[in-house]
């Protein structure tokens, strides 16, 4: 390892590794890259503990476009990451998302969101109650006023495969990775200059990228900067059911999409089982080391909601559960990507609020463009920059699960 790097990335999960990949893949970048990862087992990373899904059904046009690019990358990932004998097929299941609305307010929001998605070219469709019942006859739809379904570009995939694919390819292209923990960041006036590692080494840095997930605020604070990102716990449950639900013959994406009930409870197939979760009743910040599942959420919230929605989910049994952290942006639930306006060689890639996995490809490409060209060349992510944080000007995303 050298004593100086052009770019030091703090955090080596999917966001940090995507930045490293896009930098080293660009022939216009001739610099050096170091990725510092505190735990390369990634056992508690948001990437590894996520629900591994991607959707275009957002309320904000830029988020729709970010996921459209993410879907393109996921479909072509094996070819993009090919090197030597290694292949990284993400086994993308294009099962789609199915949002259900049962109040006039939810219907209005769904129609507004659908208009945004259609303007962006997303392949989503609105279904009335009869159309929904025809597509998924095992669902109880008497209370559903409107449904929104993603016919393509949405589904689930291998989450760690995305991360390890970016990481392996970035390393093959020259990026250096080190297992260590950043404990201090040097700053001289309006420039950051170095990172100090827990091992005692000091590494000079031309640019520092904050890709430290739920710990983003801790990393920023080392540079005397502040970011409204905190860890919020989400528990996921894998369950088996006695009677597997089946979709109709004219829905070609399998037995069930990723269904989001009006209450926010969601469920999707997971191999021969199902994966489910819900918005927690107590959605406050947790300790960075708190990964204890909230076991009561399944019995109290998830199971009743699913049993109400389908006879198939009346007899189900939990076979696994775990808790992960959202890197939650308390201002507007949207990612923060861009330079600090004063400390311009400190770049944020934080606050994804549960969408980091699917937004990783566009974020990695965008951050690499900022470093290489000092501006965005493909998707314009300017509205997601740090300026809005300073101005306390929310750039809201309404479709947050």
Its domain, for residue 123, covers: 94-152+231-326
pTM of the model: 0.95
Tally of domains in the chain: 2
Cβ-based neighbours of 111, under 8 Å, separated by 6 or more: 126, 146
Q: Are 16 and 63 within one domain?
A: yes
Question: DSSP code of 83?
Answer: B
Q: How confident is the model at residue 247 (pLDDT cuts 50, 70, 90)?
A: low
What is the β-pairing status of strands 229-241 and 316-329? antiparallel
Q: Are 163 and 268 within one domain?
A: no
Q: What is the pLDDT of residues 132-174, one digit of tens each?
A: 999 998 899 999 999 999 999 999 999 999 999 999 999 999 9
Burial of 263 from C-beta contacts in 10 A (0-12 / 13-18 / 19+)? middle
CA atoms within 13 A on the CB side of 312: 18
Q: How far is CA 168 from the centre of its chain?
A: 20
- Whether 268 maps to a domain, the answer reads yes
Token pair listed for 245: 């639900």
Using CA atoms, how far apart are residues 12 and 15, in angstroms rounded to an integer? 7
> What pLDDT does 246 receive?
65
Token pair listed for 389: 């944080």
Q: Are 204 and 338 within one domain?
A: yes
E-strand stretches of 153-224:
155-156, 176-179, 182-188, 191-197, 202-210
Token pair listed for 178: 């080190």
Q: Are 288 and 347 within one domain?
A: no
Q: Are 236 and 312 within one domain?
A: yes
Write down which residue in 296, 311, 326 finishes a domain: 326
> What pLDDT does 280 receive?
93
Q: Are 63 and 108 within one domain?
A: no
Q: What is the pLDDT of residues 332-367, one digit of tens each?
A: 999 999 999 999 999 999 999 999 999 999 999 999
Q: Are 222 and 240 within one domain?
A: no
Cβ pair 220, 210 in contact under 8 A = yes
Task: For tokens 């983003």, name the residue.
Answer: 216
Q: How confident is the model at residue 396 (pLDDT cuts 50, 70, 90)?
A: confident
DSSP H helical segments within 76-174, as ranges?
77-80, 104-119, 129-135, 159-172
- Whether 112 maps to a domain, the answer reads yes
- Whether 79 maps to a domain, the answer reads no
Write down which residue in 297, 326, 355 finishes a domain: 326
């Amino acid at each position: 390892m050298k004593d100086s790097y052009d770019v030091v990335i703090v955090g080596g999960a999917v966001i940090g590794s995507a930045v490293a990949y896009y930098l080293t893949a660009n022939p216009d970048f001739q610099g050096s890259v170091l990725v510092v990862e505190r735990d390369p087992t990634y056992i508690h990373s948001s990437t590894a503990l996520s629900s591994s899904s991607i959707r275009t059904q957002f309320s904000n046009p830029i988020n729709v476009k970010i996921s459209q690019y993410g879907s393109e990358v996921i479909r072509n990932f094996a070819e993009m990451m090919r090197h030597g004998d290694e292949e990284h097929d993400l086994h993308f299941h294009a099962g789609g998302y199915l949002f259900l609305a049962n109040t006039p307010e939810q219907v209005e929001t769904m129609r507004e969101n659908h208009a945004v998605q259609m303007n962006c070219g997303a392949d989503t469709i609105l279904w009335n109650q009869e159309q929904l019942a025809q597509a998924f006859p095992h669902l109880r739809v008497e209370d559903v006023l409107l449904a929104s379904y993603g016919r393509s570009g949405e589904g689930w995939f291998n989450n760690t495969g995305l991360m390890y694919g970016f990481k392996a390819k970035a390393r093959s292209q020259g990026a250096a990775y080190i297992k260590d923990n950043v404990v201090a960041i040097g700053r001289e006036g309006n420039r950051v200059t170095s990172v100090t590692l827990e091992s005692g080494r000091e590494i000079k840095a031309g640019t520092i990228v904050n890709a430290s997930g739920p710990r983003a605020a801790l990393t920023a604070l080392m540079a005397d900067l502040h970011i409204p990102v905190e860890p919020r716990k989400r528990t996921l449950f894998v369950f088996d059911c006695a009677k597997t639900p089946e979709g109709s013959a004219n829905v070609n994406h399998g037995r069930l999409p990723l269904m989001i009930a009006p209450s926010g409870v969601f469920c999707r197939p997971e191999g021969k089982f199902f994966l489910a979760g819900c918005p927690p009743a107590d959605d406050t910040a947790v300790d960075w080391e708190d990964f204890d599942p909230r076991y009561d959420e399944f019995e109290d919230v998830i199971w009743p909601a699913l049993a109400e929605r389908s006879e198939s989910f009346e007899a189900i049994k939990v076979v696994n559960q775990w808790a992960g952290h959202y890197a939650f942006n308390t201002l507007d639930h949207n990612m923060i990507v861009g330079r600090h306006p004063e400390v311009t060689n400190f770049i944020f890639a934080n606050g994804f609020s549960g969408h980091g996995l699917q937004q990783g490809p566009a974020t990695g490409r965008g951050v690499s463009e900022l470093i290489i060209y000092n501006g965005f060349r493909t998707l314009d992510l300017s509205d997601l920059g740090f300026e809005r944080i300073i101005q306390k000007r929310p750039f809201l995303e309404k479709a947050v699960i």
